[in-house]
Chain A
Amino acid sequence: MSELTRLTAAELAQKIHSREVSAVEAAQAHLDRIAAVDERVHAFLHVGAEAALASAALVDESLDADTPPASPLAGVPLALKDVLTTTDMPTTVGSRILEGWRPPYDATVTAKLRAAGVTILGKTNMDEFAMGSSTEYSAYGPTHNPWNLDRIPGGSGGGSAAALAAFEAPLAIGTDTGGSIRQPAAMTGTVGVKPTYGGVSRYGLVACASSLDQAGPCARTVLDAALLHEVIAGHDPLDSTSIDAPVPAVVEAARRGAEGDLHGLRVGVVRELTGEGYQAGVQENFDAALRELEKLGAEVVEVSAPHFQYGLAAYYLILPSEVSSNLARFDAMRYGLRVDKGASAEEVMAATREAGFGPEVKRRIILGTYALSSGYYDAYYGQAQKVRTLISRDFAAAFEQADVLVSPTAPTTAFPIGDKVDDPLAMYLNDLATIPTNLAGTTAMSVPSGVAAEDGLPTGLQVMAPALGEAVMYRVGAAYEAARDAADGSPFATRIPEVKR
């Protein structure tokens, strides 16, 4: 493996901008890596080699002419979750119903990445329509966890996380609806951030649950995630739900955090998100992380969020409801798959959706249709929206007592492929700790907290902050990361094993 693929994005950017290395070299090194391992990992659904090299060449040309880099990440390669539209590559959302679909427009996030000079290597695998926690619901086959190819990489954004862990890219974009960035980050020992709802544009983000979806940065280090965060975040007039406020200064916060002083900061442990139901190694690593934070000067307090226990139930009512409506447009009339079974439009629609959607998607469409039905609306969807208010209030109360909240990101380490795929409810439990943040619209990140003693698989520490509170979150994440690296003697990424044959 080329040394270039072991670098962090910040390091790689520095080498490219100083012209020690060209953007094309950097791109090629990663394309070679993809060619070497992706058959086993299956992180990518599409690799756009030609376009990537062309884009990198343009960056080189510009830098050679002494033009300042378009962004601190100009020339750095990136893997893009296949849920964001790209005009030069297919956008399948992990589904058969959009197999080969070439959107006529770029998502705002895509456009920002291009404008920043980032080299988009390709589109990554995901659970179909972002519904899942293992990437096993992809219509194109699962992604394999680089730590252990028999294990899931997490989901729905398993492809992006695996690409990072397999050193196929130093940066990735994911989307997080109930934990789909954070949980795969924990499963693969990488960093993943869900920005405040409205912090990153959803224009061009194929919708799963509109009120929960957020695109976010994924990387192997907190600083890299911060750099990427500043490229993609910001107000978008094409997205009515995007926040018109300055992007939080997360790079500065990450750098400051790495200096290691957390005195004056209160870290709240959410009582309802630890203990029973959490794998031993997960809990151990979490406790150890708390001790690290204390050593850095933070005050660790316990907080209670009594309505978090209803989070899963509320989520699995709100999400399917919005999904059932968002996915109605896939009807074989204007784009995507058409199964010409039957003579009428209605029959063709039904046959196409039957063939084009996988079982999890169908389950959620049916569940959502039920929850919104007249007669059931109040008891299900209506009630779930009230629970959402209660969860927001729990957060608000907790953030009075602490500056950030922490929990293990996921209850278990990466489980074997096939273990939970036929047990939807068991699968849903993966999102226990991550869901409340999506419901409240606040921000959270997952940072590697070591490996579990019993299986050697990575665990993640989740750091949660209030809406638009990314700065304190990145600060804590970076501080913890630095302390952990210091204790280990090397960056966590060095612990990621080589992808097995």
Chain B
Amino acid sequence: MSPESSSAGGAITRDEVAHLARLSRLAVTDAELDVFAGQLDVILGAVARVGEVAAEDIPPTSHAVPLENVFRPDELRPGLTQEQALSGAPAAEDGRFRVPQILGEEQ
């Protein structure tokens, strides 16, 4: 999916939505794809107007609050017990979280 394949101002295709859904691990239905594609298209058209602002020399803000260098000392802090950690687990075995077969490779 490249910038060139969708038109300026945010036309987002059904295929693109399907790709994005896969990337974000959402098994959306075909019906949802149709609805979402239409809605997202409209939304993108609206949000694309951030591009109207000429902002070459403007620094981006990622934090509204100008804090820097917030650290903690390298000291132990009580955490959770194994029981607490596993308390919400859909499945557990031998003190570990049990998950279905993983297909992908570790990064």
Q: Which residues of A contact B (CB under 8 A)?
A: 101-102, 104-105, 196-198, 211, 237, 240-241, 243, 307, 310, 312-314, 316-317, 324, 328, 331-338, 340-351, 353-354, 357, 359, 362-363, 365-367, 369-370, 373, 375-376, 379-380, 382-390, 392, 424-425, 428, 439-442, 467
Chain A residues within an 8 Å CB radius of B17: 366
Q: How far is the CA of A357 from the CA of B20 in the complex (A)?
A: 16
- The reply to whether A354 and B52 form a contact with Cβ atoms under 8 Å apart is no
- The reply to whether A334 and B89 form a contact with Cβ atoms under 8 Å apart is yes
Q: How far is the CA of A317 from the CA of B27 in the complex (A)?
A: 23
- The reply to whether A350 and B61 form a contact with Cβ atoms under 8 Å apart is no
Chain A residues within an 8 Å CB radius of B80: 104-105
Q: How far is the CA of A376 from the CA of B91 in the complex (A)?
A: 38
Q: How far is the CA of A369 from the CA of B80 in the complex (A)?
A: 32
- The reply to whether B53 and A390 form a contact with Cβ atoms under 8 Å apart is yes
User: Digit string of B1-45 for contact with A (CB within 8 Å is 1, else 0)?
Assistant: 111000000001000110011111111110010011001101110
- The reply to whether A440 and B3 form a contact with Cβ atoms under 8 Å apart is no
- The reply to whether B43 and A367 form a contact with Cβ atoms under 8 Å apart is yes
Q: Which residues of B contact A (CB under 8 A)?
A: 1-3, 12, 16-17, 20-29, 32, 35-36, 39-40, 42-44, 46-53, 55, 58-65, 67, 70, 72, 80, 84-85, 87-91, 97, 99-104
Q: How far is the CA of A229 from the CA of B103 in the complex (A)?
A: 49
Q: How far is the CA of A52 from the CA of B35 in the complex (A)?
A: 44
Q: How far is the CA of A337 from the CA of B102 in the complex (A)?
A: 18
- The reply to whether A369 and B90 form a contact with Cβ atoms under 8 Å apart is no
- The reply to whether A366 and B60 form a contact with Cβ atoms under 8 Å apart is no
- The reply to whether B51 and A353 form a contact with Cβ atoms under 8 Å apart is no
**A101 CB, min distance to chain B CBs, angstroms:** 6
List 21 A-B pairs, Cβ < 8 Å: A101-B88, A211-B62, A241-B63, A241-B67, A312-B46, A335-B89, A343-B101, A346-B102, A348-B99, A357-B26, A359-B35, A362-B32, A369-B20, A375-B1, A383-B51, A384-B47, A386-B59, A389-B60, A392-B64, A439-B64, A440-B64
Given contacts A334-B88, A376-B3, A380-B50, contact A390 B99 (CB under 8 A): no
**A244 CB, min distance to chain B CBs, angstroms:** 8
Chain A residues within an 8 Å CB radius of B32: 359, 362
- The reply to whether A198 and B67 form a contact with Cβ atoms under 8 Å apart is yes
Measured CB to CB, the nearest residue on chain A to B37 is A366
- The reply to whether B16 and A345 form a contact with Cβ atoms under 8 Å apart is no
Chain A residues within an 8 Å CB radius of B65: 196-198, 241, 243, 441, 467
- The reply to whether A386 and B26 form a contact with Cβ atoms under 8 Å apart is no
Of all A-B residue pairs in the complex, the 10 with the closest CB atoms, nearest first, are A441-B64, A335-B88, A385-B60, A338-B90, A350-B27, A386-B55, A104-B84, A354-B27, A313-B47, A386-B58
Chain B residues within an 8 Å CB radius of A370: 12, 16, 20, 40, 44
**B20 CB, min distance to chain A CBs, angstroms:** 5
Q: How far is the CA of A313 from the CA of B51 in the complex (A)?
A: 10
**B105 CB, min distance to chain A CBs, angstroms:** 12
- The reply to whether A384 and B50 form a contact with Cβ atoms under 8 Å apart is yes
- The reply to whether A344 and B101 form a contact with Cβ atoms under 8 Å apart is yes
Chain B residues within an 8 Å CB radius of A376: 3
- The reply to whether B58 and A390 form a contact with Cβ atoms under 8 Å apart is yes
Chain A residues within an 8 Å CB radius of B40: 363, 366-367, 370
Chain A residues within an 8 Å CB radius of B88: 101-102, 104, 334-336
**A314 CB contact (under 8 Å) in B26, B50, B85, B101:** B50
- The reply to whether B53 and A307 form a contact with Cβ atoms under 8 Å apart is yes
Chain B residues within an 8 Å CB radius of A101: 88
**B26 CB contact (under 8 Å) in A312, A366, A392:** A366
**B87 CB, min distance to chain A CBs, angstroms:** 6
**A324 CB, min distance to chain B CBs, angstroms:** 6
Q: How far is the CA of A186 from the CA of B12 in the complex (A)?
A: 35
**B39 CB contact (under 8 Å) in A105, A324, A424:** A424
Chain A residues within an 8 Å CB radius of B46: 312-313, 316, 425, 428
Chain A residues within an 8 Å CB radius of B55: 383, 386-387, 389-390
Q: How far is the CA of A442 from the CA of B66 in the complex (A)?
A: 12
- The reply to whether B50 and A313 form a contact with Cβ atoms under 8 Å apart is yes
Given contacts A335-B88, A441-B65, contact A383 B103 (CB under 8 A): no
